Amino acid sequence: MTKERSFWIVAHQWNTVALSVDRGFVSLGHPPYERLSTLLHPGDHILFYIVRTTELRNIRAKKKKKVPFDPLAPIFSFAFPGVITPKDPYQVDMGFSSTLWRRDVRYDPQYKSVRPIPARRFRPYQFGFFPNLVTFERRLMGKGCRGVMEIQKKDFESVLGCMAKRESELRLRKASRSLENQEREYVDGSEEELGCATAQSDGHGTVIEGDDVQGRQDCVANITRPQD
Q: What is the mean pLDDT of residues 84-99?
A: 85
Q: What is the pLDDT of residue 187?
A: 61
What percent of the chain is predicted at pLDDT more than 70? 69
In this predicted structure, the answer to whether residue 67 has a pLDDT above a threshold of 80 is no
Mean pLDDT of the chain: 78
In this predicted structure, the answer to whether residue 166 has a pLDDT above a threshold of 80 is yes
Q: What is the pLDDT of residue 87?
A: 93
Q: What is the pLDDT of residue 210?
A: 44
Kind plus residue range of the DSSP H or E element containing 222: helix 213-224
Query: 126-138, pLDDT tens digit by residue?
Result: 999 999 999 999 9
Q: What is the pLDDT of residue 73?
A: 61
Whether the full predicted model's pTM is greater than 0.75, yes or no, is no
Q: Higher model confidence: residue 222 or residue 123?
A: 123
Query: 104-126, pLDDT tens digit by residue?
Result: 999 999 998 899 999 999 999 99
Phi, psi (deg, nearest 5) at residue 53? -75, -40
Q: What is the mean pLDDT of residues 63-77?
A: 63
User: Quick one: CATH architecture of 7-163?
Assistant: Roll (3.10)
In this predicted structure, the answer to whether residue 43 has a pLDDT above a threshold of 70 is yes
Q: Higher model confidence: residue 79 or residue 221?
A: 79
Of the ranges 9-18, 29-38, 213-222, which is most confident?
9-18
**In the chain, where are the structural domains located?**
7-163, 194-228
Residue 84's identity, in one-letter code, is I
pLDDT-derived band at 193 (thresholds 50, 70, 90) equals very low
Task: Give yes or no for a contact between 12 and 50, defined as CB atoms under 8 angstroms apart.
Answer: yes
Among candidates 39, 32, 42, 46, which has minimal Cα distance to 100?
32
In this predicted structure, the answer to whether residue 182 has a pLDDT above a threshold of 60 is yes
Q: What is the mean pLDDT of residues 51-59?
A: 61
DSSP for 56-112, please give it. HHHHHHHHHHTPPP-TT---SEEEEEEEE-SSPPEEEEEETTEEEEEEEEEE-HHHH
Q: What is the pLDDT of residue 186?
A: 61
